Amino acid sequence: MLIKSPARPVGLLHKRIHWLASVSMILCAGISSDLARAQETEGTSPVADINDPGPKPDDVLPAIIANLKRSMKDPYSIRDFALCEPKITKAFKYPGAGNRWEPAHWSVDFELNAKNGFGGYAGRTYFSATYKAGRLDSVGSPNLGADLNTKLLGLTEACPRVPDAEIQRLLSN
């Protein structure tokens, strides 16, 4: 069964509207195909801002400690804290995840020793804090096993130690 399409508008105004709609569809198709090509190109990011990590975070310790205070079972047991300088992590494409990109951001590596859920000290543990757009985005430990934790602790070996009294002061605020 054939379905007839509705009659097209005949007036001059309607012709111009139809022309504008056609041009805008052509432009949109061209832009979206350019974006798709840019996203499919290996090693290039789809958005220009993805390579901008934002402003360098300053005075990161209070925000990190506040996050740990909210997320740890016994934050007051934190000791042997070492904090590294913020560094830029460049934008990267996740391998095997289609076209998923992680934008550039600031990372702060640190280590600490604190009590675990059983009440015993867990030993030196590597953590990382992520800053995006100038704000603390996440704090966590990768929990990838003792061997990898030991290797990651190599990143914090040269980082300055924070006195335990300073950590306790920040926790009490």
Task: Examine the domain organization and report whether 148 and 167 are in the same domain.
Answer: yes
pLDDT digit string, tens, across residues 129-161: 999 988 999 999 988 888 999 999 999 999 999
- Which among 124, 58, 111 is positioned nearest to 83, based on CA atoms? 111
Residue 167 lies in a domain: yes
User: What is the pTM assigned to this prediction?
Assistant: 0.69
Mark whether 105 and 63 lie in a shared domain: yes
- CA nearest 106: which of 78, 64, 67? 64
Mean pLDDT, residues 110-125 taken together: 94
The per-residue pLDDT for 95 is 86
pLDDT of the residue at 97: 79
Please provide the average confidence, as pLDDT, over all residues in the chain: 79
* Whether 144 and 118 share a structural domain: yes
| Residues 22 and 101 placed together within one structural domain of the fold | no
> For 36, what's the count of Cα atoms within 13 Å in the CB-facing half-sphere?
6
- Residues 19, 68 within the same domain: no
Confirm whether 160 is domain-assigned.
Answer: yes
E-only strand ranges, the chain: 79-83, 87-89, 92-93, 101-102, 105-113, 125-132, 135-140, 161-162
Residue 109 near residue 155 (C-beta atoms within 8 A)? yes
Number of Cβ within 10 Å of residue 29's Cβ equals 10
In this structure, of 17-21, 50-54, 85-89, 114-118, the range with the lowest mean pLDDT score is 17-21
At 33-72, the pLDDT tens digits run 344 434 444 455 455 589 999 999 999 999 999 999 999 9
In a domain, residue 147? The reply is yes
- Mapped onto helix, strand or coil, the DSSP state of residue 87 is strand
For 19-68, give the secondary structure using H, E and C: HHHHHHHHHHHHHHHHHHHHHHCCCCCCCHHHHCCCCCCCCCHHHHHHHH
Which pLDDT belongs to residue 126? 96
Answer whether residue 1 is part of any domain. no
Q: Count up the domains in the chain and report the number.
A: 2
Of the two residues 7 and 128, the one the predictor is more confident about is: 128
Domain that holds residue 122: 51-172
